[in-house]
Chain A
Amino acid sequence: MERMLFVLQRVTAVLLAGMVVVHIAVILYASAGSLSVAEILGRTRGNVAFAAFYGLFVAAAAVHAPIGLRNVLHEWTPLPRVAVDIAMAAFAATLVWLGGAAVHAVFTA
């Protein structure tokens, strides 16, 4: 289990490193071009590549962040391990839900 989490954290770190660069480039493109909300949504609506990219981004973040936070909580708080694990599973689900809702919203807007 620990090794699985360790591997998942490393693999998602590699994914996120590349994806964050692309994400920042997208933000710069949108803001430098002063795109309006309608123009942005016009580009994202029905765009499968966009949805796939950000869907993967959300999944990677939802795996990566709770594993790291789990370590921090283990080391810095007296919370029992089981409590931390349950809380982190809930945190991962929340990230998937929030991120998924955002991707879904701009895809179908």
Chain B
Amino acid sequence: MTKPAAPTLDVRIWRGATDGAFQHFRVPARENQTVLDVVTEVQRHHDPTLSYRFACRVGVCGSCAMTVNGRPRWTCRTHVNKVAGDGTLTIEPLRHLPRIKDLACDMTPFFEKWQRAGGVFSPTVSRDDPVSSVTPDDPGRRAADAAIECINCAVCYSACDVVGWNDDYLGPAALNRAWSLYNDERHGDRAGVLRRVSEAGGCASCHTQGRCTDACPVELGPTRSIAGLKRASLLAFFGLDGH
């Protein structure tokens, strides 16, 4: 009696840079398997030249994001049986970022936009001063906290169509970060943040359709953060405080 064939997954993986092509692999389907496990399996057992990024494998570092069956996802926390019911997986690099090789893309534009949006914290006290006291229930603190857990994975950036249409657009992650800093009373340049996100390619370019919020694996709400920036930007225009 022959044993029934072990179930396999039909995996298509992007190879090369922009002018690359898909390559097919067949890998064993396991009961408990993430998309990152599949990519690792291909690299270990089929083609050691496959390039991809990961670090923590537990949804903390934000480095493993890829496009899986058309949607940007963190691959280390995406179970195959959740996204590949029919046993097929198509894995590509994230959209809207230059492709370096295979599944690795160049994150430079993403982080440059963080800087452009004023995403760098500038302290108002030095290490010699007492630690600032933060009131957890303060509305500004709560707004900052709601946006602060971003892991810089660029999943939202890849999901956002406006990023693809408008090279200038800062994108949901940078604006979400800006909203967090704008509400952080310890930040030294909150007015500067608002000025930067009110320029061309800033919060006014967002269509408020929420694809970023839908895609964010940490369940943050960049759409809500951007709406907050728009409101603050409008109020500031009339000389009012948007905090």
Contacts and interface: CB of A to CB of B under 8 A. Distances in A.
Contacts of A2: 198-200, 202, 204
Contacts of B198: 2-3, 6
Contacts of B205: 71
A74 interface: yes
Interface of A: 1-7, 10, 71, 74-76
Main secondary structure of the interface of A (DSSP, over half): helix
Interface in B148-172: 162, 165-166
Interface size class of B (residues with CB under 8 A): 10 to 19
A7 B198 CA distance: 11
Given A2-B199, A2-B202, A71-B205, A7 B166 contact: no
Interface of B: 162, 165-166, 198-200, 202, 204-205, 230, 233-234, 237
18 contacts: A1-B200, A2-B200, A2-B204, A3-B199, A3-B204, A3-B237, A5-B204, A6-B198, A6-B233, A7-B234, A7-B237, A10-B234, A71-B205, A74-B165, A74-B166, A75-B165, A75-B166, A76-B165
A104 B234 CA distance: 34
Nearest to B198: A3
A59 B165 CA distance: 30
Contacts of B202: 2
Contacts of A71: 205
